[in-house]
Every structure is written in C-alpha cells, then in structure tokens.
Amino acid sequence: MYVKAAAVPGPVALIAAGAPLPGPARSQLGANEAQGKGSSNQFAYKSKKIYISAVNGQDVIKRLKAEGWRVKRVRGSHHLMEKAGRVVPVPVHGAADIGKGLLAEIERQTGVKFKG
C-alpha cells in the first residue's frame, strides 16, 4: 500500500500562489525569484554570440551542384562529390545538421562558402 505524502508547498509554489514568503525561504531565493520574476541564477553561463548557420547534407549538396560539382557515387549515407578530379565526401543523415568543424573542412576542400 502506498501512502501519499502531504502536499507542502515549496517557495516556488508560494510565489505562484502570490503568498508572502517566510524569512528563511526568502533569503534562499534570488531577488527576482522572491518578487516572482523568474530565476536569477548567479552562476548562469553567459556565452558570446556565435553565428553558426544550421546546414544539413542536402543543403551542402545543392550548393556544391550549383558550383559545378557532381555526385560521383553514394556509399551508405556519404555522397562523394567530384569536380576536376577532386573527391569530397558529404554526409547526408536526413535532416541532421553538419557540425561546424566538418562544414569548415568541406568549405576548405571545395572552396565553396555555405553561409556567410
């Protein structure tokens, strides 16, 4: 047999209900949480703005074809693109985006920029 624990509202539930917080619970929350304005995590990670475009394998192949590359053959999910004797593999895994490192390597090998 299971016994249901008594529902004791925590600080967040009290804020949502609009009830005033007792002293110790108020001191454990940040200033914004105590006023009901959401979380104020002092250790929140603040990242620099990085503009990385999401490009999948099909987008890469369309762009390469427009630049004169052709599909030499397909082996599994890797399309081998060819132009002037150079062969560059392009992975096509459905709608999954290509990572920024791999995209940079394909750009370097082909000389084609995908997102500017």
One domain, residues 4 and 40: yes
Sign of CA dihedral 100, 101, 102, 107: positive
Number of structural domains in the chain: 2
The pLDDT tens digits of the residues spanning 67-94 come to 999 999 999 999 999 999 999 999 999 9
112 pairs with which residues across the strands?
A: none
pTM of the complete model: 0.55
Task: Write the CATH number for 76.
Answer: 3.30.920.30
The pLDDT tens digits of the residues spanning 14-69 come to 555 666 655 555 555 555 555 655 555 555 555 544 445 689 999 999 999 999 99
Instruction: Answer whether residue 68 is part of any domain.
Output: yes
One domain, residues 99 and 61: yes
Instruction: Answer whether residue 52 is part of any domain.
Output: no
Name the residue range of residue 40's domain.
1-45
3-state secondary structure of 29: coil
Instruction: Answer whether residue 51 is part of any domain.
Output: no
One domain, residues 64 and 103: yes
3-state secondary structure of 23: helix
